[in-house]
Every structure is written in structure tokens, then in C-alpha cells.
Amino acid sequence: MPDTSFAALLERVDSATDTNRLQLTPDWMQGRAGYGGLVGALALKAMRSHVPPARKMRSLLISFVGPVGADDFSIHTRVLRSGKAVTHVEAKLVQKEAV
């Protein structure tokens, strides 16, 4: 059985790519949806690769449009804008071709 600890799930997010394909295990499900904090942490990990390590995160906005279920899902990330002091990064989680 694969390691499903929080740290192990975060390690599955490949920071070298703009798209990560993942799957939540049953122990991370709350009914039919994955725990929101875990989903947010996975998205944040994917976004951090687009920002220099010295730049601190000052704000994070998460909008849960729909639940992330037990099927495979993808995290798509892209830089919306980067300036001298601020970088805006978007992470979009897609499952079954829906956000």
C-alpha cells in the first residue's frame, strides 16, 4: 500500500511541470470530497514552483467550485503576472474535464 501521509502526497506534486496528475486515497476523503485543506496545500505546492523561494507568500485565495473526488485529477498552474514585488499564480484543479 502506498504511503498516503500528508508529506508523501505533497512529494507527488512535481514542481518541474505546469500540470500534475494526482489521485486522493480513501483516507483523505470526507464523504465524496477530498479534505479542502489538503487540496489547497497540493495547489499551493504546485504554485510555489513558479515563484522564487525568497519571495514570501502574503496572500492565498482558494475558491472551492466543486469537490475533488476519488478519481484522478490534474493541477494546472500558470503565472498570471509577475512584477518587482508581487507574483500572481493560478492553480486550477480539473477532474473529469471540469474545474
Spatial separation of the C-alpha atoms in residues 61 and 80, rounded to whole Å: 14
Averaged confidence pLDDT in the chain: 92
How far is residue 82 from each of residues 27, 51, 93, measured CA to CA in Å?
37, 9, 21
Query: What's the rounded Cα separation, in Å, for the pair 12 and 75?
Result: 12
Predicted TM-score (pTM) of this structure: 0.90
Q: Grid coordinates standing for 33?
A: 470530497
Q: What is the pLDDT of residues 13-29, one digit of tens each?
A: 987 789 999 999 999 99
According to the model, what pLDDT value does residue 1 have? 62
The whole-number average pLDDT for the span 41-46 is: 96
